[in-house]
Amino acid sequence: KPALMTINYNGNSHWSRRKKKGHCLLRVSAISYQDFIDFSLNETKRHTLLLPSPLQEKYSSMIALDGQTRLEMSSFETPRIRLLRSMSIEGEAMQVLDIAAFPKPEFDLPIFCGNFFTATNTNIVVLDLNPLHDVVSRRDYKEKYYDRLMPLGLKYTELLPWGGKLTSESIKFFSPIVIWTKFTSSKYKHEVLYSAFVEYYKAWLELMEQAVEETDPSRIMSNLEAQHRYLTWRAEKDPGHGVLKRLIGEKLAKDLLRNFLFSGIDEVGSKTFLDYFPEYWSEDGTISEKRSIVGKGFENRPWDKNGEFVGNDLRN
């Protein structure tokens, strides 16, 4: 079997560790998302004190059931960030990044969200500063965080165009600057994605640094509940679940989702998924297996250049 000599896409091409003695087959390999994680941790350290999360003890790395795909987990906290965690998946056929930063409840900051799925040359990407509060009904919230970020959003949503219909429920978790895109792998596209990631993360860190700590208990409670609702949604309905279950089995996947990726579900609040999303009740009283009740919608980007929501209704 020929050893593979691989070139890494991500800008700084290098010979991968998979290079072995013997005759080599030259192949352009997939992206590695490790550079994205390294950037975010180094950049965070330049702004604030980065401390290890207690989750590090239990979650570090895993080999999938195929014996070859690797899952790498990292987790930290800072004086203003409850949890900064990432999971990367590196396999022959698949590379994934799931990175998120969850602020402490004294801050109404958006949740940083980078979800990149790469397989057989296709890429499914969500990059956003997910709003903690509804940007349509809470104009003050939209103005506070997103009005200033619109130029940044417009720059990258042109380079990385709207990915087409998606589960309609997701749109409420997205901001006017969300990058939702699909593309075929190329060095250029991955470089654009990397710079989008860098600029979005820097923008988020600046918001974090400037944020004013909330002292009003009712506002803190409202931040807490909004974050809990978000965690509850993603731990139950994130589109990556199927892949995770195939990779590591249902039991470990569930543990990873509830206790690592969306950790806080059992501490931050006590409502259940069905309390927040009663439309998912199924006849026998359990949570409907469906990913979406509304169905798919939003063929086109439902925000205009000012960040105003222009999707007529949630189906569009």
Residue 183 Cα distances to 116, 125, 138, 164, 262, angstroms: 11, 8, 33, 11, 27
Q: Which of 105, 110, 240, 307 contacts ligand BLA by CB under 6 A?
A: 240
Does 86 participate in binding ligand BLA (rule CB under 6 A)?
no
Q: Which of 239, 255, 274, 287 contacts ligand BLA by CB under 6 A?
A: 239
Region near ligand BLA per CB under 6 A, out of 13-21, 217-225, 236-244, 250-258: 236-244
Number of residues that bind ligand BLA (CB under 6 A): 17
Q: Which of 64, 84, 109, 113 contacts ligand BLA by CB under 6 A?
A: 113
Closest CA to 174 of 314, 13, 78: 314
Region near ligand BLA per CB under 6 A, out of 21-29, 52-60, 237-245, 265-273: 237-245
Residue of minimal Cβ distance to ligand BLA: 240
Confirm if 257 and 235 have CB atoms less than 8 A apart.
yes
Q: Which of 10, 53, 115, 185 contacts ligand BLA by CB under 6 A?
A: 115
Region near ligand BLA per CB under 6 A, out of 5-13, 61-69, 151-159, 232-240: 232-240
CB of 166 to ligand BLA, least distance (A): 3
Tokens of residue 200, six digits: 């979005």
Residues 6+ apart with CB under 8 A from 134: 141, 172
Region near ligand BLA per CB under 6 A, out of 62-70, 113-121, 153-161, 214-222: 113-121
Residues 6+ apart with CB under 8 A from 252: 62
Of 125-154, binders to ligand BLA (CB under 6 A) are 126, 130
CB of 160 to ligand BLA, least distance (A): 14
Confirm if 18 and 27 have CB atoms less than 8 A apart.
no
Confirm if 39 and 11 have CB atoms less than 8 A apart.
no
CA 178 to chain CA mean position, Å? 11
Q: Which of 41, 150, 198, 243 contacts ligand BLA by CB under 6 A?
A: 243
Does 64 participate in binding ligand BLA (rule CB under 6 A)?
no
Q: Which of 74, 170, 227, 232 contacts ligand BLA by CB under 6 A?
A: 170
Residues 6+ apart with CB under 8 A from 106: 213, 214, 215, 220, 223
Q: What own/partner pairs with CB < 8 Å and gap ≥ 24 does 233-239 have?
A: 233/169, 233/173, 233/273, 233/276, 233/277, 234/261, 234/262, 235/261, 235/262, 235/265, 236/273, 236/287, 237/167, 237/169, 237/291, 239/167, 239/291
Binding characters for ligand BLA, 87-106, by CB under 6 A (x = yes): ---------x-x--------
Interface with ligand BLA (CB under 6 A): 96, 98, 113, 115, 117, 124, 126, 130, 166-167, 170, 173, 234, 239-240, 243-244
